Amino acid sequence: MSAPAVAAAGVWKYFGDYPALRDVRFELQPGECLALLGRNGAGKTTLLRILGGLSGASKGAVEINGGDVRASETRARIGWLGHSIGLYDELSARENLRTFGSLYGVTRATISEWLEKVNLTHVADAPVREYSRGMRQRLAVARAFQHGPRLLLLDEPFTSLDDKAIALLQGLLAEARGSGATIILSTHQIREAMELASKVALLDRGKLVHFGERTEAMLQDAGYLYRTYGSAA
């Protein structure tokens, strides 16, 4: 049997004496989509940062496709979309995609395709600081997807997106999943997340209090998960 796409084994993360993550364990198979839920400060971003190799675990281990997350080959297969857009305001859309694309070996033709996909071709050579918030978000999506990642780590990807951009992102995520990519997205927008997710995890003060299949009840009732498994339950 092949190695899981993502494996977290007893992950702890301390900030000083405070445990931001407490013994987090789960596995995801290739092609699965995990909705990572939890209230503010539950540890969602911390967990995503550890899975993306941006931060080290204090205890425990994380493996991506059975390999070390900081290995260059592993990171070449990860797409990261954090809270912020991760773009340079003084550079144009094309220059931003080229800069990041050059680290992954993305061709110029692929960059042009992505500019078209996110509907930014007409402003591709204007500096990003002149873009609207929605345009910046769409460019950030192109930046995270352009190298065809096999694992997508998305932190609040739907925040500040308008309806059209949410539909675009959902379409791209569905397409990525269809091609076998694994997706982990942390969000407060439960409805959008549930539509995509095959698995659901709930973090509560750093502890994984629920990890399992997404059920029909979760899809129908946004508050079901928190009422059933949250600390107030």
Partner 1 sequence: MTMLRHAAAIASKDLRSEFRTKESINSTLSFSVVILLLFAFAFDPSPDMIVEFGGGLLWIVFVFAGALIVNRAFARELPNDCIDVLVSSPASGASLFLGKATAAFVLLFGIECICLPVFGILYNVTWWRNLSGLLGILALGTWAMACVGVFISALTVNLRLREVMLPMLVYPVLIPAILPAMMLTNTLLTGQPIPSDFMVWLRLLIGFNVMFTTLSVYLAETVLVR
Distance of alpha carbon 79 from alpha carbon 162, whole angstroms: 22
Minimum CB separation of residue 84 from partner 1 in Å reads: 4
Q: What is the residue whose two structure tokens read 């094309």?
A: 94
Minimal distance, residue 206 CB to partner 1, in Å: 18
DSSP code at position 111: H
Of 32 and 155, which has the nearer Cβ to partner 1? 155
Which one, 73 or 162, has the nearer CB to partner 1? Answer: 73
Q: Specify the residue, 9 or 54, whose C-beta has the smaller distance to partner 1.
A: 54
Q: Which residues are CB-contacts of 220 (< 8 A; sequence separation ≥ 6)?
A: none
Beta strands 182-186 and 33-38 are parallel
Of residues 196, 150, 206, the one with CA closest to residue 169: 196
| Contacting positions for partner 1 (CB under 8 A) | 49, 52-56, 70, 72-73, 75-76, 78, 80, 82-91, 95, 99-100, 102-104, 127, 143, 153
Q: How far is the CB of 56 from partner 1 (least distance, A)?
A: 6
Answer whether 225's CB lies under 8 Å from 193's CB. no
Least distance between partner 1 and beta carbon 52 (Å): 5
CB nearer partner 1, residue 185 or residue 190: 185
Residues paired with 207 in a beta bridge: 204
Nearer to partner 1, 53 or 229 (CB): 53
Query: Number of helices (H) and strands (E), helices first, in the chain?
Result: 9, 10
- Paired with 204 in beta bridges are 207
- Which of 66, 50, 61 has the alpha carbon at shortest distance from 4? 66
Q: How far is the CB of 185 from partner 1 (least distance, A)?
A: 15
Closest distance between partner 1 and the C-beta of residue 137, in Å?
11
Nearest residue (CB) to partner 1, 136 versus 214: 136
